[in-house]
Amino acid sequence: TSDVGEIDGVIVALGGKTSDVGDTMLTTGTSNVIEAMKAKGVKRLAVITSIGTGDSENQAPFFFKVLMYTAMKKIFVDKNNQEKVVQASGLDYCIVRPGGLTVDPPTGIINVIDGESGSIARADVAEFCLDAITMEDFPYIGKTPCISSVGGTSWVKDRSAKARGEEA
């Protein structure tokens, strides 16, 4: 193996149909990533799961809940187990629970949702995850924020020169 150099953090965005990847791919894959992170001394982890996992069950829209308990039941068992592995890891984690994913261009609007979630562009989810592993004072470390571009409390990244360390 080669030295991978300095790694700020890891983003886990595993997915797929359970019929293609198995019933425990998310949990097993994330466990393997965590083991490798610990071996390399990497502390920061962002993991994308879904609205409806863990304690966010009531934030999922009604029709999505129906899917969670029927056609998507196996994947949600795996997602919930995946979250438990992350929470027990001892790493500086952020479990990101996006609302409905779109392929729209990024909006730059990333809201942390307390109520029922709406949709969010995949690119905006990616930005939130990058912030989770690169921002020293990211406010959602050790938390499980549900994010959406519709509703909620706006997550606004401080882009000032001071925030970038360019002035005292």
Average pLDDT, the chain: 84
Quick: pLDDT tens for 118-138: 888 999 999 999 999 999 999
SS3 65: helix
- What is the CB-side half-sphere exposure of residue 111 using CA atoms within 13 A? 16
Other Cβ atoms within 10 Å of 168 Cβ, number: 4
pLDDT at 148 over 70: yes
Predicted confidence band of residue 3 (pLDDT cuts 50, 70, 90): low
- Length of the chain (residues): 168
pLDDT surpassing 60 at residue 78: yes
Helices (H), the chain: 18-21, 25-40, 62-69, 73-87, 122-134
